[in-house]
Every structure is written in structure tokens, then in C-alpha cells.
Amino acid sequence: MTINEITKLVEPMMDAYGERYRQITSSHINIIESISTHLSHGQGKQLRPLLTFLTARCMGIGDAPAQCHTLYSVVVAIEMLHNSTLIHDDVVDESDTRRGIATVNSRWGNKVAVLYGDYMLAMVMKTINELGNSSISSIINHTVLSMCQGELLQQQCCNHYDTEPQTCLTIIEDKTACFMAACCQIGALCATHDQAAIDRAQRFGLYLGMAFQLQDDMRDFLPTAATGKPQGNDVREHKATLPIIYAMQDKEIGQELSSMMNRADFSNSDIEAIATLVRGSNGWLRCRELLDDYLSQAHNLLKQMPQNIYSQGLANILLYLKENQE
């Protein structure tokens, strides 16, 4: 099961949203248009739009123009918000590439990247405000605040490998899970007035997001050949992620790992040695168990949602995460 196969369930909606996205992000200012065109060549899985559409369809949204207008506009805002955070992340992390293409900061410089990220965020607010829906505005505002808090908390914890595991989970929730929860919540909100159903969708997205980010944190310790991403990016940036925190608590390897992690810089052999220690620790098993628990909680909530091909699509996203554990 692949994300592309799941996307086919809502392919017409994804196509319509894509056209709306191009319309909203187009500009008469050449540099904005150039960056937008450049970024269109490096689209990722577009998991957040997919989650929103699948949830809306699961909850019974039809093809009425009024309903779909709101849904398409808010999904465009969701993807613009996601892209603005990635652009700012690339500046902070000094990244040269993302999704196989040059980052905005590496091609246009940090100043332009920050300004373009700000521009995208302003476009998010403009798009949401034009909808005139206070509930959606509140969800987006809460999401932006949570994501900023999560990023700042992660920066605060850099190099602090005695960080409490609960703090790591708070970072995961604020940085990633709250956004996916918002996608499912908004998808449900566009389809139904049943508050209990909307709340279930929100919690489903939260648990899915917790599993998604925890898996991403774990994949940092896997070989590049297995993930397609450079191994040890988080380690090089001294991020105190849960796999490291749990591994540090392993009595057999904790002291050795602590000594290695306290280095200012890491060679490729250092990264491989650290990754091997982490993967062989009891902490790695604890992370696996926690990831499986989040997937299980998400699956239990999904059982309480309407059962149709779209809820099966959501179930397949959980299966995709399950199958891609290493």
C-alpha cells in the first residue's frame, strides 16, 4: 500500500485543490511567481490535504459547490501553512535540498526565504479570513501557535539529553500531531455539525500525527539506503528526540552514548556508531511499542467513524505507517 494508491480515492478533489492552489499562490511579482513555480516541482506526499479530504468524505461531504468551496480553500491554506513552516525550517537548519530540489534559502538566500515564508503565512490568514468561519479560523490560529511553541521548545532542549520523555512527546504533539489533528478536525467540520464526530476525527488525527512524527524521529537512525534521507540529521543538529532520550536511559549503553553525543561535531563514522547503538538499545524497543500504541489508538477511533471507502483510506494510512517501520 502506497500513499499514491490511497490518494486515488479522492483524486478529483486533489486535482481541484491543486488548481485552486496554483490560482491563489500565483503573483504578478516575478520573484514570488518564480519561487512558487520552483516549489511546485518538489511536492511531497501532500499528506495533510489527503487527510482533510478523506475525513470530509468519510463524514459524508458531497459535491455541493458551497461545501466544496470552503473545503478547497481551507485545504489550500493548510498546504500553504505547511510549506511556510518547511521554508523557515530550512533556513534554521541551513538545508540545501528538500524533496530532491534546492531549498528556497539555498537558491535565493535566507532573507528571501524568510520573507517568502512570511508571505505564505500571510496568505494563509487572508484565505482563512475570507471564509468568514470563526471555527476554522480558531483551529488554524491554535495550530500555528502550537507549532511555533513546539519548535521553540525543541530549540530549548537541544544538547539537553536529560530532557524528560514527556517533554519530547509535547514537542511531537505541538510540532506535528496538532497539525494533522487540525486537518482531520477541519475535514469533519466541513461535512457535519455533529460535534462528537468532529472531536473523534480530531483525536484520530492527533494519534496518527504522534505516530507519524515518532516514526520520522526513529528513521533518522536508519541507513540512508532504507529511507532516502541522510542518516543522522537530527543527531548532527543535537536534537533531543525520543529515540536518543530513551537510549540514554539504557544502562548498558547509556554512558557510551552520552560520551559520543557530547561531541561538538560528528563524522560519518560517528553517526553510524551512534545509530547502531540506538537501534540496539531497549529504548528503540520502547519507541516501537509507543508508536504501535498510537497507531492502535487511532485505529480504535476510526472504528467509531462512518465506515466507507474513505475511512478505509484513513485505515490504509495507518497501515502504511505500520508497514514502513524498520
* Amino acid (one-letter) located at 157: C
The C-alpha cell 494563509 sits at 124
pLDDT band at 239 (very low <50, low <70, confident <90, very high): very high
CB atoms within 10 A of CB 113: 20
What whole-number distance in Å separates Cα of residue 145 and Cα of residue 115? Answer: 19
pLDDT at 230: 80
In sequence order, what are the beta bridge partners of 97? 102
Contact 124, 77 (CB under 8 A): yes
Domain coverage including residue 218: 3-323
CB atoms within 10 A of CB 53: 29
Mean pLDDT over all residues of the chain? 93
Which has more pLDDT, 66 or 2?
Answer: 2
Q: By mean pLDDT, which of 100-109, 118-127, 225-234 is the weakest?
A: 225-234
pLDDT band at 41 (very low <50, low <70, confident <90, very high): confident
Instruction: Name the nearest CA neighbour of 259 among 246, 267, 270, 268.
Output: 270
In sequence order, what are the beta bridge partners of 102? 97
Quote the percentage of the chain above a pLDDT of 90. Answer: 79
pLDDT band at 149 (very low <50, low <70, confident <90, very high): very high
Inter-helix orientation angle 268-279/254-261, to 10°: 150
Report pTM: 0.94
pLDDT band at 326 (very low <50, low <70, confident <90, very high): low
Contact 305, 185 (CB under 8 A): no
CATH number of residue 42's parent domain: 1.10.600.10
Question: Based on the structure, what is the number of domains in the chain?
Answer: 1
| Surface-to-core class of residue 38, CB atoms within 10 Å of its CB (0-12 exposed, 13-18 middle, 19+ buried) | middle
C-alpha cell at 203: 483525536
pLDDT at 93: 84
The arithmetic mean of pLDDT across residues 21-41, rounded, is 92
The arithmetic mean of pLDDT across residues 109-134, rounded, is 95
pLDDT band at 202 (very low <50, low <70, confident <90, very high): very high
CA distance from start to end of the chain: 16
pLDDT band at 112 (very low <50, low <70, confident <90, very high): very high
